[in-house]
Structure 1
Amino acid sequence: MRVNVLVGGPIEMVPTKLINERRNEKWVGVDRGAVTLLKMGIVPMIAVGDFDSITSNELQGLENALHQVKVYPPEKNYTDTQLGIRFATQDKNPDEIDIFGATGGRLDHLLANIFLPLQAEFRPYLTRIKIIDCQNIMAYYLPGRYTISHIKGKKYLAFVNLTPVEGLTLQDEKYPLIDWNSKIPFSWTSNEFTAEENHFSFKKGIMAVIQCNDPLKLGN
């Protein structure tokens, strides 16, 4: 079972075609993301956030259309995205959690969203979470050996250690790497698949793997 979460990042980075394809799946709307879903004809299970980026009329529209709207003060212990993931996992135990609208705009928001799955509360779901926008699909990995499948339209393949890492091996990518260690985060960018399936492994740490492409027409 998959839960999709749309947060309030710049709409031009949101892959609206993919969201429309998933309109009958479970959705959580976060702040302005809830308004965007309604405009697309998708009624989320719940809308959460401080809603400081929408008008009172838009908030009233959410309250009229949804069964659950949770409004929090701007000064709170959780970010809006954290609240969205909390509700996505609450009593549901989803197999996949895909986050949209989490990129673009402010860098502090972007970094908070990228590092969110490393937090203790969300760590049990780390390998189930993906961050998706028009150009990128990012997944998280714990130590092990993995086969990754090439996603159509994504030219590049990046490997990013978010924590210290040991034994990172890119076995059959265009630019191989053997038993690499680092005490600091590092991004091996612009690698590529050599076949429809490639492999990688590592012994310690947390990795993000990003399949991405150069800019396409916005909203695709």
Structure 2
Amino acid sequence: MSVNACKNSALIINGGPSPDKRVLDFLPKFDEVLAVDSGFDSAISLGIAPDVVIGDLDSISTNGLETADKQSIKIISFPKDKDESDLELAILHASKSCTSVTIVDSGGGRLDHLWGVFSAMASDATSMITCEAFLGSSYVRLVRDHYIVKPLASNLVSVFPFGGVAEGVSLSGFRWNLNDETLKPGSTRGLSNEILENFGDISVRKGLLLVIQSGLY
């Protein structure tokens, strides 16, 4: 696969502990695979062949780096001292040719790294693309305008404002609906809602929402 060709969707395997293989049952179709540093080792363990390795290469295994080199996989390296995380750089790279990005992360490891995943999802690089993530056994979707959510393993859905106030938030098809309301940072009002129908409708006029569905497996 040519990494320079125009793509529609990118799968990003993040660094850190390897994800559970059961995540494979939930992944959408993808056109390009980016491995973030040691995410290359995780991708191989999942049976996924990366097209690109990106990051400061401080955590990929020696064997993994040698394998990537032998297979002529494109390697995009950055210095360790930088302003962006490796994941944010991967999203930025993918956004140049893709309309959607799916991130896979174990959801374990350091808490600050997990928060960094949320922050990278909400970066300017995703302003014109769809961004979702499988974090451990949870599915996370960044919503900038409108999203139709369907039940996965359960009907539970949590909705949080992210990065500031979310205005004009409306939910329909849920146990607790909202109509053009404001959600402020620090509010847990959107925690543990339930889809009552075949799908739930979520919209926001201004700001960002993180929609989280847990317990996939």
TM-score > 0.5, shorter chain as reference: yes
Structure 2: any 5+ residue segments left out of the alignment? 1-7
Shift of 1:160: 0.8
Q: Note the C-alpha offset of 1:194.
A: 0.4
Asked if 1 retains the 8 angstrom alpha-carbon contact of 2:169 and 2:205, the reply is: yes
Out of 21, 25, 33, the residue aligned to residue 27 of structure 1 is 33
Deviation at 1:202, TM superposition (A): 3.2
Identity of aligned residues (%): 22
Q: In structure 2, what is the equivalent of residue 103 of structure 1?
A: 107
- CA deviation after TM superposition for structure 1 residue 82, in Å: 1.3
Residue of structure 2 in register with 1:18 after alignment? 25
> Where does structure 1 lack aligned partners over 5 or more consecutive residues?
none
Distance 1:10 1:32 in 2: 9
Query: Equivalences for 1:142-153 in 2 at 5 Å?
Result: 142-143=144-145, 146=146, 148-153=148-153
User: C-alpha deviations, 1:87-143, integer Å up to 9, x for none?
Assistant: 2123x1x22210111632212111121022333344233xx0001134221112224
Q: 1:25 to 1:118 in 2, by over 3 A?
A: closer
Aligned pair in 2 of structure 1 residues 154, 134: CA closer, same or farther (>3 Å)?
farther
Q: Which residue of 1 aligns with 2:10?
A: 3
**CA displacement at 1:19 relative to structure 2:** 7.4
Residue of structure 1 in register with 2:3 after alignment: none
For residues 119-172 of structure 1, the C-alpha deviation after alignment (integer angstroms, 9 at most, x for no partner) is 3344233xx0001134221112224xx462414323311111112022323233
Q: What does the per-residue CA deviation read over 1:4-28, in whole Å, with 9 as the maximum and x for residues that have no partner?
A: 0001132245644237885x74211
Q: 2:159 corresponds to which residue?
A: 159
SS at the partner of 2:87?
helix
- Are 1:15 and 1:133, in contact at CA under 8 Å, matched by a contact in 2? no
Normalised by the size of structure 1, how large is the TM-score? 0.81
Taking structure 2 as the reference length, the TM-score comes to 0.82
Post-superposition CA distance 1:179-210 (Å, at most 9, x none): 43244243411111101122233332211212
Match of 2:135 among 109, 133, 136: 133
Please point out which of 64, 75, 80 is paired with 1:69: 75
Describe the SS at the equivalent of 2:124.
coil
Structure ranking higher on relative contact order (CA contacts 8 Å, 6+ apart): 1
Is this contact kept in 1: 2:167–2:181, CA < 8 A? Answer: yes
In 1, the alpha carbon distance for the partners of 2:38 and 2:202 equals 37
Q: How many residues are matched? A: 208
Mean Cα displacement is larger for which, 182-191 or 41-50? Answer: 182-191
Matched ranges for 1:39-58 at <5 A? 39-58=45-64
Q: d(CA) in 2 for partners of 1:20 and 1:160?
A: 23
